[in-house]
A = this chain, B = another copy of it.
């Protein structure tokens, strides 16, 4: 019964004793940073992560800081810093300095950039992990692609192979060095580091499908089994663990089934990127992603990774980070209305509407400034004017 458990129980309105049991069983993890404690898993609000960070071809410290601040302002629960360009350690330091949210990293990114994919060794990966942990990250993503998965991928039954960046870098390392996955080989050592610093392990989703035609295949099945086994190992070693899965492109009507398959396979929290129920959402993938993520969260996904309008196009701008985040907060809220049945904010919004009280509605919006901007300067709604259905019926019924 630690202070973070009490903090999360308070935030979520759940019993701390029950929460503590859920954590013991691996059903809930707590990401911590300073006084911040974010609970993820069964019985808790669906959480939303925002990806940010430089790429090797687009580097602006100032922009990444602003993205991080926007993420915090607009209600992200966590941030993943995926920087691969510029002074990565410094960028992360600045993101940490300008936010209070827990930060996640993918350590193979920084290692590949700083040491080189061809020259790096597994010791370099562990060194990066130690540095990132000391810097204050709260969670690490490790892609546990194994040789059988690579063999399945070599059969080239997939149109789009691997579309996970961390998964592809890890796979590339294994293919270039003709070796087993370095994280799998040093899994025990890795768990020791994570345990010592109470860092949450996120088992990455290398096999997520890059297009509808690649959905839910043997590679994904292999990864699911492997990740469940590794998660149990981590849990037994006292390491908090999340499984990433069910993300990528998949028919809409298979999303719920896919989520339930993951949730049946293990007790651990499920982190989903997307999913995207179409391939042609280019420029509007945050909207297609919201539809997919709504189905995912309603069916039990615990933690959503936001997709921005820039998906498939480029590194997101500050505005795109905000747009993607809000779309996924909507998806999380849609899921939560299913998980919990009702929500006070929705009821309040409905009451404000019944009272035609605009100010109250603005204040409940995900993005109050945007709602006010759309409403414009007019005092009343311009949609119906004197033929407002609510006013008409209030006066006559």
Contacts and interface: CB of A to CB of B under 8 A. Distances in A.
A153 B346 contact: no
B167 A389 contact: yes
User: Which one of A162, A165, A278, A366 has the greatest number of beta carbons of chain B within 10 Å?
Assistant: A278
A7 interface: no
Interface string A100-118: 0000000001001000000
Contacts of A164: 389
Interface in A137-182: 150, 153-154, 156, 159-165, 167-169, 171-172, 175-176
B349 A279 contact: yes
A126 B266 CA distance: 64
Q: Specify how many copies of this chain sit in the oligomer.
A: 2
Contacts of A172: 392-393, 396
Interface in A234-288: 249, 251-253, 277-284, 286-288
Nearest to A84: B387
A380 to B, nearest CB: 7
Interface stretch (A8-16, A128-136, A195-203, A328-336): A328-336
Interface stretch (A25-33, A36-44, A224-232, A306-314): A306-314
A126 B298 CA distance: 46
A361 interface: yes
B313 A374 contact: yes
Contact of A396 (B156, B176, B253, B375): B176
Nearest to A328: B287
A128 to B, nearest CB: 15
Nearest to A361: B282
Contact of A253 (B156, B298, B313): B298
Contacts of A312: 353, 361, 381, 383
Contacts of A364: 280, 282
Contacts of A337: 212, 251-252, 277-278
A70 interface: no
Contact of A338 (B154, B253, B281, B284): B253
A260 to B, nearest CB: 13
A109 B211 CA distance: 46
Contacts of A310: 374, 383
B387 A353 contact: no
Contacts of A390: 160-163, 168, 210
Given A172-B396, A287-B287, A165 B314 contact: no
Interface string A75-95: 000000000110000000000
28 contacts: A55-B383, A57-B385, A112-B387, A154-B397, A159-B354, A161-B354, A161-B394, A164-B389, A211-B350, A212-B337, A213-B347, A214-B350, A251-B341, A252-B334, A253-B338, A278-B333, A278-B334, A280-B365, A283-B371, A284-B326, A284-B367, A287-B287, A288-B290, A288-B330, A310-B374, A314-B375, A314-B376, A320-B374
